[in-house]
Amino acid sequence: MSKPELNYKHLHYFWTVAKEGGVARAAERLGVSPQTISGQLGKLERDIGRTLFTQVGRRLELTEAGREALRYADEIFLLGERLREALDEPALGQASRLTVGIADSVPKLVAYKLLAPVVEASPQLRLVCHEGEFDELTSALSRHKLDIVLSDRDLGQAQQRRLVARRLASCPIGIYAARSLLEKPGAARNIADFSHAPMLLPSKRTSMRTRLDVWMDAEGLTPNVVGEFDDSALLTTFGGNGAGYFPAATVLTEMLSRQYDAELVIELSDVNEGYYAISLPSRLPNLHVARLLQSALP
């Protein structure tokens, strides 16, 4: 005997109860009686043959089956909200859209080089970029607010259960300095000189900082850290204007020379920065996301 089809109205009641933390609050939000919600939840549980909530004192707690159902319900109803936003878009039908989250630790030129082939392949594409912290962006991706995230960090073990990361590129890191700094007496020109040189570094929450700390420890360096930055563009601006020596991916060498008259002092051949595209697993892949996953740095 086949099971009855899933009733999405009943599933929405379940989702609202789980989100609101109880039947009474869910009923208030939905404008129905608590008895109505309780009755529909019971019907849903009978239809699927699983108990979704258990009573613990005066509170409702999700069962294991309830947690699994909530994971799917999150995707279903958050996608519904995304659908409503998409259909309300005034430019609907004029251009397709790709919404990208870019971690603030990713150099802007690297983001451009990864996205440029996608834009060039689709002249009608409307590209929407949001910059932020890694955890903020992956959370927004999980809630279907973004199509993809570009980051210099791989996913943690817990995140790998719901997201997929693909490494797009790996670049050596170099130490750069503005010409004005290099012209000063005693300017650092080799590794040993960096023991007391003024250094600008990424903040400790970035993956590049972790790699640089390992490298400095291995070389026995104790530089004079005069600035730490979450935002790679701000770090580069300070460094390019002579505030200190600064690290950057060597793919940026030409841009740093042209824009800031900055030189590559040393290349750290054993220190590399990886760049990742993070997406949701999907049976209906977005064409532009698929193109981006094939990108590589020239």
What's the CATH code of the domain at 19? Answer: 1.10.10.10
What's the CATH code of the domain at 225? Answer: 3.40.190.290
- Give me the pLDDT at residue 94, please: 47
Residues 153 and 280 in one domain: yes
- Give me the pLDDT at residue 177, please: 96
Tokens of 193: 């000189």
In a domain, 224, yes or no: yes
Residues 266 and 196 in one domain: yes
More confidently predicted of 233 and 84: 233
The string of pLDDT tens digits covering residues 7-48 is 889 999 999 998 888 899 888 988 999 899 999 999 999 988
In a domain, 297, yes or no: no
In a domain, 155, yes or no: yes
**Cβ pair 225, 238 in contact under 8 A:** no
Residues 165 and 285 in one domain: yes
- Give me the pLDDT at residue 91, please: 54
Whether pLDDT at 237 is above 70: yes
Give the mean model confidence (pLDDT) for residues 198-208.
Answer: 91
The Cα-based distances of 178 to 44, 102, 118, 242, 245 in angstroms read 66, 27, 33, 5, 8
Residues 165 and 283 in one domain: yes
Note the pTM of the prediction, 2 decimals: 0.68
Give the mean model confidence (pLDDT) for residues 202-227.
Answer: 90
DSSP the chain: -PPPPP-HHHHHHHHHHHHHTSHHHHHHHHTS-HHHHHHHHHHHHHHHT---EEEETTEEEE-HHHHHHHHHHHHHHHHHHHHHHHHH-TTTTT--EEEEEEETTS-HHHHHHHHHHHHHH-TT-EEEEEEE-HHHHHHHHHTTS-SEEEESSPPPTTGGGT-EEEEEEEEEEEEEEEHHHHTSTT---SGGGGGSSEEEEE-TTSHHHHHHHHHHHHHT---EEEEEES-HHHHHHHHHTTSSBEEEEGGGHHHHHHHH-EEEEEEEEEEEEEEEEEE---SS--HHHHHHTT----
Sorting pLDDT into bands at 50, 70 and 90, what band is 131?
A: very high
Q: State the helix-helix crossing angle for 253-260 and 232-240, rounded to 10 degrees.
A: 50
Number of structural domains (the chain) is 3
Nearest to 155 by CA among 139, 173, 132, 131: 139
> At 198, which amino acid appears?
P
- Give me the pLDDT at residue 114, please: 92
Structural domain span for residue 207 = 170-270
- Give me the pLDDT at residue 85, please: 64
- Give me the pLDDT at residue 35, please: 92
Residues 121 and 131 in one domain: yes
In a domain, 298, yes or no: no
Residues 263 and 189 in one domain: yes
Q: How far apart are CA 229 and CA 82, in angstroms?
A: 34
The Cα-based distances of 134 to 138, 163, 206, 209, 227 in angstroms read 6, 13, 9, 15, 21
Residues 265 and 240 in one domain: yes
Q: How far apart are CA 23 and CA 38, in angstroms?
A: 7
- Give me the pLDDT at residue 283, please: 55
The string of pLDDT tens digits covering residues 39-95 is 999 999 998 889 999 888 878 889 999 999 888 888 888 777 767 766 766 555 544
Q: 81 CB contacts (<8 Å, ≥6 apart)?
A: 144
